[in-house]
A and B are shown apart, each in its own frame.
Chain A
Amino acid sequence: GNSVTQMEGPVTLSEEAFLTINCTYTATGYPSLFWYVQYPGEGLQLLLKATKADDKGSNKGFEATYRKETTSFHLEKGSVQVSDSAVYFCALSANYGGATNKLIFGTGTLLAVQP
């Protein structure tokens, strides 16, 4: 079945450090891949997405590239800020022959950025 595996947290960084959160997936067909972010006390919101191999999603300085050969979608940011502290979820959505698209989530990675 479909699944998403992402690195466990928490990840603690100093401001302006480089961030990588690893995400790998298992899916048949051609899934779309997403990163969602959850700020404290709030629901999830879309951070970025990629819908086909070699696409790069980007938003707010974050980037992730859809790598079909390594089944990965790692999240990166060159210089994190305190305001980036949140939980980050990798997710995929796949549709097989008309079956319903459903989002499958990883377990989430807590990022804490210290000033």
Chain B
Amino acid sequence: NAGVTQTPKFRILKIGQSMTLQCTQDMNHNYMYWYRQDPGMGLKLIYYSVGAGITDKGEVPNGYNVSRSTTEDFPLRLELAAPSQTSVYFCASSYPEGSTEAFFGQGTRLTVV
């Protein structure tokens, strides 16, 4: 089972460049999430989606955009990369019920220089 797949695993961007972090899941989960993990800061929610065509902001959405055209895919777009966006990004998915677990991808380590 593939679960949640993120690409790329590593990326270095220059300030002002753009990129899309890809995330796809094969578990038919309604809910999908993007988190960023900064050292010593835990995980912060960037955006989430409760189903195809529906997205909403999390705690730290500035500088990012998302779309959800299918149940499987939830890409995260950085339009003008800034050093403050250097982080590890995790995509996750789950069923709607709060008692169920979230499944995480292996992460994308992004460095903006």
Contact = CB atoms under 8 A, between A and B. Distances in A.
Nearest to B90: A43
B104 A45 contact: yes
B43 interface: yes
Interface of A: 31-32, 34, 41-46, 49, 51, 89, 93-95, 100-103, 105-108
B41 interface: yes
Contact of B106 (A42, A51, A93, A105): A42
Interface of B: 4, 31, 33, 35, 40-43, 45, 48, 50, 56, 58, 90, 92, 94, 96-99, 101-102, 104-107
Contacts of B94: 101
A58 to B, nearest CB: 15
A103 B107 CA distance: 17
Of the candidates A31, A101, A107, A108, the one having the most CB atoms from chain B within 10 angstroms of its own CB is A101
Nearest to A95: B98
Contacts of B107: 42-43
Given A100-B31, A100-B56, A102-B48, A46 B101 contact: yes
Nearest to B43: A105
A97 to B, nearest CB: 13
Contact of B102 (A31, A100, A103): A103
